Amino acid sequence: MAMSLLTPVGIIMVAIGTVIIGDSGKSHILLFSITILIVLLSFLFPPMLKYYPKIFGVGGFFIVIIFLGILWYWARNHQTLPPSERIASMYQLISYIFFFLIALMLCAMLGNPFSGLLFPEKVIEQNALPFYYSFGTKILIYIILALFFTFLSLFKRAQMKKSTK
């Protein structure tokens, strides 16, 4: 249990330092503090929570709606950007697509009431282990790509700011 808390607590401490160094305003620090509190509280939930497949369906619905909203605002904002900023914006969109795919794949893998990871005997009976291994591998690759394109977007924007000074 203690080991599972070390990484999130360490990352949160680094993020707090980043927010302080970034000289964020009080409202941003409050928002960030609330986010940290939610993350820390989520690690206090017992690992044996009851299985609620409906939450994955509802969650998947909200993921799709929020993603469509992201696409809508991204498209509207992208049109107004100068050409020099559009590549960073494209990297950002690519990262959004990978994060969206990760979320949907996790909902499908964990929320399936007919097999999924809650019923390992059905997964073995249906010879679905290769399917779940494939999902896990894709999710890992998509996480790497999503974070990489997020990094590229931020890096490109930082380069543009340096070149305009």
- Mark whether 43 and 75 lie in a shared domain: no
- Mark whether 73 and 24 lie in a shared domain: no
Number of domains in the chain: 2
Task: Please give the residue range of the domain that contains residue 73.
Answer: 51-164
**Reported confidence tier of residue 3, pLDDT bands at 50, 70, 90:** low
Q: What is the pLDDT of residue 69?
A: 94
- What pLDDT, in 10s, does the model give residues 143-161? 999 999 999 999 998 888 8
**pTM value surpassing 0.75:** yes
Q: What is the pLDDT of residue 150?
A: 94
Contact yes or no for 104/141 (Cβ under 8 A): no
- What pLDDT, in 10s, does the model give residues 55-94? 888 888 999 999 999 999 999 999 899 888 899 999 999 9
- Mark whether 26 and 96 lie in a shared domain: no
Q: Is the predicted pLDDT of residue 23 greater than 70, yes or no?
A: no
- Mark whether 36 and 89 lie in a shared domain: no
